[in-house]
Amino acid sequence: MPLVELRDVTKVFPAASRHGSPVRAIDGVDLDVEAGDVYGIVGYSGAGKSTLIRLVNALETATSGSIRVDGTEITGLSERRLQHVRRGIGMIFQQFNLLRSRTVYGNVIYPLQVAGVGKDEAHARVAELLQFVGLAEKAHTYTDQLSGGQKQRVGIARALATSPKLLLADESTSALDPETTQEVLALLRRVNEELGITIMVITHEMEVVKSIADKVAVMEGGRIVERGAVFDVFSDPQAQVTRRFVSTIVDDLPDDEALARLRARHPGRFVRLAFRDPAVRQADVYAELVRRGVVFELVHGGIEDIGGRTFGNLTLALDGADADVDDALTAIRSRIDARELA
Ligand SMILES: Nc1ncnc2c1ncn2[C@@H]1O[C@H](COP(=O)(O)OP(=O)(O)OP(=O)(O)O)[C@@H](O)[C@H]1O
């Protein structure tokens, strides 16, 4: 059974004014997040990511459809039962949302105090959490004196205080510089791997998805337009919006301008070779060209590593007799995807 299960979920916000129209922020979404997943939810601003997360932790109620969290149907639950469900969900935010009037210790112990956990137990739990996030030394520091990365680590410790099964991260690294982002992502990885906590990460940065997620769903206009294992989606994006996202980190096809520049410099026909299967060696593919006397040059592309698997999208200029190039491409296509660029 998935830890989070959405079935045909819709959320419609009423029109903001008498002449406006209602906003369908979530439109017929199905989603399964399995226990142990790090699930990335990607989309541009307004795609519906935040609304989706707010539905999962019951800060918004769905207009229709079913949402189950850890086996409990949360649509239609009483506020008291919802509070219980929310306790099983931790949340971290872009702006950290820490209490400035409290120290690091005071922030992390806060949810335990709200939950009525005894003093000694709460104290021990906070000490353990601060150790885990590497902030034991900063327990009595006020949060104003912390760096952005340290603040987010406090946010993570606080979110974990009540031992949730699920952690929701809403643009949790968007306010951080690249190096600090990597530190926080590494900590989230440990939260997943060492503590076994399922994480849903909302982001508009593919780098974040690439760094920590196992699965990804791409949202547009309130719908999930594409989903799958991160490697599969990154190496072979289908939807237009996914291609745009992936192109921010994976150098795939040259754009029209770059292609025109390349053509001016290199004679011959252009093909894009997509290497995805570890069993296919580049050398064997190039051998098909060499064998037919087709001269080739790698003019654009890159190799990416995702979770220890590599894929490459390489553009080659092929110079040779048309019949030889056709022949070679037929042989290559029996091994990998090869697309001729018009
Ligand atoms: N409380 C609300 N009332 C009315 N409309 C809302 C409300 N919350 C969100 N919306 C609308 O729902 C749509 C989806 O918004 P949402 O914030 O979920 O998108 P998002 O992908 O998280 O974008 P961002 O990254 O900018 O937060 C938008 O059109 C937004 O204006």
Distance between alpha carbon 211 and the CA centroid of its chain, in Å?
A: 8
Q: Using a 6 Å cutoff on CB, does residue 48 contact ligand 1?
A: yes
Q: Using a 6 Å cutoff on CB, does residue 13 contact ligand 1?
A: yes
Joined tokens for residue 47: 């795609």
Distance from the CA of 140 to the center of ligand 1, in angstroms?
37
Give the closest residue (by CA) to ligand 1 atom 6: 13
User: Residue 138: its pLDDT value, please?
Assistant: 95
User: Residue 34: its pLDDT value, please?
Assistant: 98
- ipTM attached to this prediction: 0.95
Return the closest-CA partner of residue 254 out of 314, 319, 329.
314
Q: Using a 6 Å cutoff on CB, does residue 46 contact ligand 1?
A: yes
Distance from the CA of 204 to the center of ligand 1, in angstroms?
14
Q: Using a 6 Å cutoff on CB, does residue 106 contact ligand 1?
A: no
Tokens 């890159």 label which residue?
302
User: Residue 142: its pLDDT value, please?
Assistant: 96
The answer to whether 203 touches 219, Cβ cutoff 8 Å, is no
Write the DSSP assignment of 181-198 as a string of letters: HHHHHHHHHHHHHHH--E
- Please, which residues have CB within 8 angstroms of residue 272's CB and are 6 or more apart in sequence? 252, 253, 301, 313, 314, 315, 316, 338, 339, 341
110 SS3 class: helix
Give the closest residue (by CA) to ligand 1 atom 2: 13
Q: Using a 6 Å cutoff on CB, does residue 50 contact ligand 1?
A: yes
| Side-chain-facing half-sphere of 25: CA atoms under 13 Å | 19
Q: How far apart are CA 237 and CA 193, in angstroms?
A: 27
Return the closest-CA partner of residue 227 out of 236, 235, 218.
218
Q: Using a 6 Å cutoff on CB, does residue 254 contact ligand 1?
A: no
Residues across the chain: 342
User: Residue 87: its pLDDT value, please?
Assistant: 86
Residue type, 303: I
Domains with residue ranges and CATH for the chain: 4-88+164-247 (3.40.50.300), 256-340 (3.30.70.260)
Return the closest-CA partner of residue 155 out of 136, 169, 175, 174.
169
Q: Using a 6 Å cutoff on CB, does residue 23 contact ligand 1?
A: yes
Q: Tell me the pLDDT of the chain (342 aa) as tens digits.
A: 899 999 999 999 998 888 889 999 999 999 999 999 999 999 999 999 999 999 999 999 999 999 999 999 999 889 888 888 888 999 999 888 999 999 999 999 999 999 899 999 999 999 999 999 999 999 999 999 999 999 999 999 999 999 999 999 998 888 888 889 999 999 999 999 999 999 999 999 999 999 999 999 999 999 999 999 999 998 889 999 998 888 888 777 788 898 999 999 998 999 999 998 888 999 999 999 999 999 999 999 888 888 788 888 899 999 999 999 999 999 999 999 999 998
Q: Using a 6 Å cutoff on CB, does residue 43 contact ligand 1?
A: yes
Give the closest residue (by CA) to ligand 1 atom 10: 25
Q: Using a 6 Å cutoff on CB, does residue 25 contact ligand 1?
A: yes
Q: Using a 6 Å cutoff on CB, does residue 168 contact ligand 1?
A: no
Give the closest residue (by CA) to ligand 1 atom 7: 13
310 SS3 class: strand
Which of 26, 41, 51 for mutating ligand 1's site (highest number of atoms within 8 Å of CB)?
51
User: Residue 156: its pLDDT value, please?
Assistant: 97
User: Residue 109: its pLDDT value, please?
Assistant: 97
Q: Using a 6 Å cutoff on CB, does residue 224 contact ligand 1?
A: no
Which of 24, 50, 94, 201 for mutating ligand 1's site (highest number of atoms within 8 Å of CB)?
50
Give the closest residue (by CA) to ligand 1 atom 5: 13
114 SS3 class: helix
User: Residue 256: its pLDDT value, please?
Assistant: 86
Joined tokens for residue 68: 């189950």
Q: Which atom of ligand 1 is nearest to the CA of 202?
A: 22
Predicted model pTM: 0.88
